[in-house]
Chains A and B, each alone.
Chain A
């Protein structure tokens, strides 16, 4: 079982719709979860992170965390063509005080005009 699993997509949504991206993780002890956006040919950029169960909103983005189900999601409201990218879910692991990120394979999002 992979540590972080995502559907590779592509997920196609029309402009203005809500895009829902999902991620599951295997380590029940994981504490922190991150969503990165990666445009083709570019490096990952942080969108948002979440630590606590429930929802966290930032502009058009909402991260949702359910630790009991080991499930993280990212909702993008009013999707725009510029949101077309690969969205990477990452789990922070801490070992002897040092952190690292473990990534999923990413979900490719296509927003059509």
Chain B
């Protein structure tokens, strides 16, 4: 079974530029998560989708971050304009529906804003 796929793995951009990250969850997983992990910290949930609907985006900085999952499979997370403090790993994860299922993480997309 293929895991959660993410791209690009690494990205360096200047502040005020934009960047987009792509995620393809495990086949059949209806729930998709985007977490942000700043160096030395634990992952923080940015947004959670159930199929193509948003379940939780309470910690998403909506003035600069946006995410979509138009067909209920792949998802894109965009940052525009980027700030220095956005330097982090962006982890996509997925799980089957329901409260009892394991959440699996992708390898992450590493962003450096200079």
Which A residues are closer than 8 A to B by beta carbons? Answer: 4, 6, 8, 42-46, 49, 88, 90, 92, 94-106
Contact = CB atoms under 8 A, between A and B. Distances in A.
Interface residues of B, number: 26
Nearest to A98: B55
Contacts of A94: 99
Contact of A43 (B31, B40, B98, B107): B107
A91 to B, nearest CB: 11
Chain A binding surface, main DSSP class? strand
B31 A105 contact: no
Contact of B42 (A46, A96, A105): A105
Nearest to A105: B42
A4 B45 CA distance: 14
B91 A8 contact: no
B56 A95 contact: yes
B44 A8 contact: no
Contact of A42 (B55, B56, B107): B107
B48 A105 contact: no
Contacts of A106: 41-42
